[in-house]
């Protein structure tokens, strides 16, 4: 069995480092923009979006952790902070006394409605409009392929 490392060639190394830098810088820029404009973190925004897309604007905490790629502990702390700001509230699950729902409040909804256009504009400015439509479509295909491999 060959145990020789499969090193990246120069082209692969450039692409890999560009991916790391661009993904980190893009998330940082989007985070700074939404914080400056609306006082939200990206985690706040993602949770508001996920709750807004769910029936009755509520999601079981364990499911919300999965959807937002957060640990249950981290999500719980995030929900604590958002609850203090009036964006969400917690409700006990009637069928499972140990489980809880995160529920979007009217304040959370209004915050999302105000922030969404600015966030989308930030995404357009720093990602979508930088690429041609074909490049953006190819990026989407590549990212879906990567996600598929990571979920297997």
Which tens digits make up the pLDDT trace of 5-30? 999 999 999 999 999 999 999 999 99
Give the ranges where the chain is alpha helix by DSSP (H): 10-38, 42-52, 61-67, 72-84, 106-126, 133-151
User: What whole-number percentage of the chain has pLDDT above 70?
Assistant: 100
Number of domains in the chain: 1
Give the CATH number, domain containing residue 137.
1.10.10.10
Establish if 71 belongs to a structural domain: yes
Residue 94: pLDDT band (50, 70, 90) is: confident
Is 98:84 a contact under the CB 8 Å cutoff? no
**70, β-bridge pairs:** none
Residue 140 lies in a domain: yes
Q: In what order do the strands lie in the sheet with 88-92?
A: 58-60, 100-104, 88-92
Using CA atoms, how far apart are residues 17 and 139, in angstroms rounded to an integer?
A: 16
In a domain, 5, yes or no: no
What's the domain range around 89? 22-151
* pLDDT per position as a tens digit, 34-84: 999 999 999 999 999 999 999 899 999 999 999 999 999 999 999 999 999
| Both tokens assigned to 61 | 């905490």
């Amino acid at each position: 069995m060959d145990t020789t490392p499969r090193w990246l060639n120069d082209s692969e190394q450039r692409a890999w480092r560009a991916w790391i830098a661009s993904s980190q810088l893009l998330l940082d820029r989007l985070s700074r923009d939404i914080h400056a404009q609306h006082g939200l973190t990206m985690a706040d925004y993602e949770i508001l979006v996920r709750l807004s897309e769910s029936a009755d604007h509520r999601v079981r905490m364990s499911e919300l952790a999965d959807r937002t790629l957060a640990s249950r502990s981290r999500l719980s702390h995030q929900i604590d902070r958002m609850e203090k700001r009036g964006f969400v509230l917690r409700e006990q699950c009637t069928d499972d006394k140990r489980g809880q729902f995160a529920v979007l409040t009217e304040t959370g909804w209004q915050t999302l409605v105000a922030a969404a256009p600015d966030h989308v504009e930030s995404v357009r400015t720093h990602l979508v409009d930088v690429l041609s439509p074909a490049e953006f479509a190819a990026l989407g295909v590549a990212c879906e392929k990567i996600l598929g491999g990571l979920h297997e």
